[in-house]
Structures are given as structure tokens and as C-alpha cells.
Amino acid sequence: MKNWIKRYRFFLLTLLAMLLLTLFNRTLGLKALSITGNSIGEMMLIIPPIFVLLGLLDVWVPRETMIRYMGEGSGLKGILLSIFIGSAAAGPLYGAFPVAAVFMKKGVKFSNILIFLGAWSTTKIPMFLFEIGSLGARFAITRLLIDIPGIIIIAYFINRMLSKKEIEEMYAKAKTLD
């Protein structure tokens, strides 16, 4: 029981805060519960397809292939593939983290995982097309040309900031996820 409470303490505290909010301000509490329910509903529509695709990636793509194209010795090829996969992906950013965990299990280089996460969050193809239509091609291309080097620089900076031990611990945790 103690482990369960410790594991879900943030959820339980949030639930308690929502209940207290509802007790003190019913309208605001019900609005917060409605927003929470909508968010959970949205997640339930997005997460299952992502997990199905992850399962297929885990089974169909051998570890050696991922290491060859995105692993330690992948160089520019790994960077470009990370940017492409992140840019072509669909869904909100919280969908990228399970993909990153599978990448870790498959031996993808840590900086390439960071580049993938950065690309997922900022260089989505549909967003780029929307920007061209609404803000103009000059703005969209300029933003993209600034974002891509920025993502790569930030990924390598973070990779250098973390110790090898910290990165190895993250990979070990990813291997335990099933």
C-alpha cells in the first residue's frame, strides 16, 4: 500500500486539490474537472495508436538496423533521420517520449534522441505548411532554418552536460520498460 501511495502521490495530491477546489468554488472545480476529462479523452485517442506503432517498431526493426542508422557511428545520417522522423510524426509532444524510450532500447545515440524530441516539438511538417499559408513562406522557412541548427546545438549541449553515467542510467531504465 505504501508503494502504491508513493508511486501515485502526485496524482493523489492533484485529485485532492481538485476536490478541495470543487468544495470551495463549485463552478471553477467543475470547469477544471471538465478540462481534465477532455484532456484524458484526447490522450486516450492519441496514445493507443502510438503504442501500436511502437510495438511494430520494436518487433519489425532489428536493433542492429537502428544502431547502424541512428546509433553512435551514424553521424549526419543519424541526425537527418532523427529530424525527419520527428518532423513527420503526428500528435502532441507527450507522444514522443514513448518513442524515445523505444529508441533508447534499440541503441539510438542519445544526441539523436534529443534531436528527435526537438524536431517533434518544433519542426512538424503540418505546422510548417500552416505557417506558409498563414504567415508566409519567408517566415516559415526562416523559422525552420533557425530551429534546425538550434535543435542540434541544444542536443549536443545537453549531451555534453550530462555525465556518461547519467546517460547510461537512462538507457538502463528504458530497457526495463515493457
Residues 11 and 92 in one domain: no
Residues 89 and 161 in one domain: yes
- For residue 118, pLDDT beyond 90: yes
Domain span holding position 113: 61-176
The DSSP secondary-structure symbol of 61 reads S
Please give the share of the chain, as a percent, with pLDDT higher than 70.
Answer: 99
Q: pTM of this prediction?
A: 0.78
3 state DSSP class of 76: helix
- 25 falls within a domain: yes
Residues 41 and 78 in one domain: no
- 146 falls within a domain: yes
Q: Give the other-Cβ count within 10 Å of 154's Cβ.
A: 15
Query: If we measure between CA atoms, which residue out of 134, 133, 132 comes closest to residue 144?
Result: 132
88, 81 Cβ separation under 8 angstroms: no
- 54 falls within a domain: no
Residues 123 and 40 in one domain: no
Mean pLDDT, the chain, integer: 90
Query: If we measure between CA atoms, which residue out of 88, 100, 85, 109 comes closest to residue 173?
Result: 100
Residues 24 and 72 in one domain: no
- 85 falls within a domain: yes
Across 38-42, 87-91, 144-148, 171-175, least confident range: 87-91
Residue 157: all three cell numbers together: 549541449
Residues 28 and 92 in one domain: no
Residues 77 and 160 in one domain: yes
- 102 falls within a domain: yes
Residues 119 and 71 in one domain: yes
φ, ψ dihedrals at 116, nearest 5° = -60, -45
pLDDT category of residue 131 using cuts at 50, 70 and 90:
very high
- 170 falls within a domain: yes
21, 29 Cβ separation under 8 angstroms: yes
Residues 67 and 147 in one domain: yes
pLDDT digits (tens, 9 = 90+) for 160-172: 999 999 999 999 9
Query: If we measure between CA atoms, which residue out of 143, 72, 153, 67 comes closest to residue 114?
Result: 153
3 state DSSP class of 108: coil
- 30 falls within a domain: yes
Number of domains in the chain: 2
- 90 falls within a domain: yes
Element (H, E) at 75: helix 75-88
pLDDT digits (tens, 9 = 90+) for 50-100: 778 777 777 788 888 888 999 898 899 999 999 999 998 878 888 889 889
